[in-house]
Amino acid sequence: MLQINLPRLPEIETKRLLLREQRLSDAQALFQLRTNTEVMRYIDRPWPKAVRDSEAAIRTINQQFYTGMSLVWAITLKDNPDLMIGNVGYWRTDLANHRAEIGYMLHPDYWRQGILSEGLVAAIDFGFNTVGFHSIFANINPGNDASRQLLLKHNFIKEAYFREDYYFEGKFLDSEIYGLLL
């Protein structure tokens, strides 16, 4: 079983970004992301009803870090680290198999500027070289070409296509799985 021996989620600096823990003060920004029709178009998850739901989500994710279940960073620009513009990280770890699922979202004002690429490279490097994962995967809605192209650009390989394996709001949806090995 892989052990994650980190006292807290480390901050990561890249050229333009500071990745840091999501804070309760990010709840408004998270709520805006999670209720943005463009952001949520292919994220088949219930929307929060109020900012306090996003606060609860941040609390849960941060608690899950301490049990090794998830490692999720707020994406901020170095020159404005209080403003969360997206997030990236491992929503679910599978420590027995040294494996984790990666996920991400970014506010549309910042799309197509290479920001997620920068965040993804940093999160992958941390996952493989600091945590010790052996494999990382992403599960996308097949309609999500932006996410597919992002993953392909970063050397993920399509590993599976599941037909109607995910039930959401009365419909059975397909999923595509992309994987990256150490």
State which residue, 4 or 154, has the beta carbon closest to ligand COA.
154
State which residue, 66 or 159, has the beta carbon closest to ligand COA.
159
Provide, rounded to whole angstroms, the least separation between the CB of residue 3 and ligand COA: 28
Pairing of strands 157-168, 12-13: unpaired
Place of tokens 């960073």: 73
Q: Which amino acid is at 123?
A: A
Cβ proximity of 17 and 115 under 8 Å: yes
State which residue, 14 or 64, has the beta carbon closest to ligand COA.
14
Q: Which chain residues interact with ligand COA by CB under 6 A?
A: 39, 42-43, 103-106, 111-117, 138, 140, 144-147, 149-150, 153
Provide, rounded to whole angstroms, the least separation between the CB of residue 104 and ligand COA: 5
Which residue, 84, 82, 64, 66, is CA-closest to 74? 84
Length of the chain: 182
| Gyration radius from the chain CA atoms | 16
State which residue, 9 or 105, has the beta carbon closest to ligand COA.
105
Provide, rounded to whole angstroms, the least separation between the CB of residue 119 and ligand COA: 8
Provide, rounded to whole angstroms, the least separation between the CB of residue 171 and ligand COA: 17
**Dist CA 47 CA 65 (whole Å):** 23
Provide, rounded to whole angstroms, the least separation between the CB of residue 163 and ligand COA: 18
State which residue, 2 or 146, has the beta carbon closest to ligand COA.
146
Burial 101-139 (b: 16+ CB within 10 A, else e): bbbbbbbeeeeeeebbebbbebbbebbbeebebebbbbb
At 59, phi and psi to the nearest 5? -60, -45
